[in-house]
Amino acid sequence: MSDIKARAQGLSPDVSARDIQQLVKDTDNVYETLSIVSRRARQLAVDLKHELDQKLEEFAEVTDTIEEVTENKEQIEISKFYEKLPNPVLIAMREFLDDELYHRYNERREEEDDF
């Protein structure tokens, strides 16, 4: 996971235009490319959210009243770090363009072809 964060820190969080021909060079289909990138983006989002929750769980205090909310500077810094990371879609798109994603087609079973 830390490898993803390290690579993501160098990415610009701004959205930029992409060359469609470069995106579809492997799949020859825009929709397949977007499906691959979106699935990877969901994986990244879940992983990053899980990691953030684990780190913030260390600071969780069980109290009976809502009024006793305390701010922890470390907790705020961790949250700000994750907020500054680029969107998971941008990370997944960079991985796809750098040929770091592996994708394959599942072969249909013969039983499915009979219907």
Q: Mind listing the pLDDT tens digit of every residue in the chain (115 residues)?
A: 556 676 676 666 666 788 888 888 888 889 999 999 999 999 999 999 998 888 888 877 665 555 555 667 888 888 888 888 888 888 898 889 888 888 887 776 665 555 5
CB 100 within 8 A of CB 44: no
pLDDT at 39: 94
pLDDT at 24: 87
pLDDT at 103: 81
pLDDT at 69: 57
Closest by Cα among 1, 15, 10, 17 to 85: 10
pLDDT at 62: 62
Q: Give CA–CA dist 22/13, Å, rounded.
A: 21
Indicate the pTM of the whole model: 0.72
- Structure tokens given for 72: 């922890």
- Which residues are within 8 A (CB) of 40 and not within 5 positions of it... i.e. 6 or more apart? 92, 95, 96, 101
Closest by Cα among 87, 107, 81, 69 to 2: 81
pLDDT at 74: 84
The three state secondary structure string of the chain is: CHHHHHHHHCCCCCCCCCCHHHHCCCCCCHHHHHHHHHHHHHHHHHHHHHHHHHHHHCCCCCCCCCCCCCCCHHHHHHHHHHHHCCCHHHHHHHHHHCCCCCCCCCCCCHHHHCC
* Domain coordinates in residue numbering, the chain: 2-61+71-104
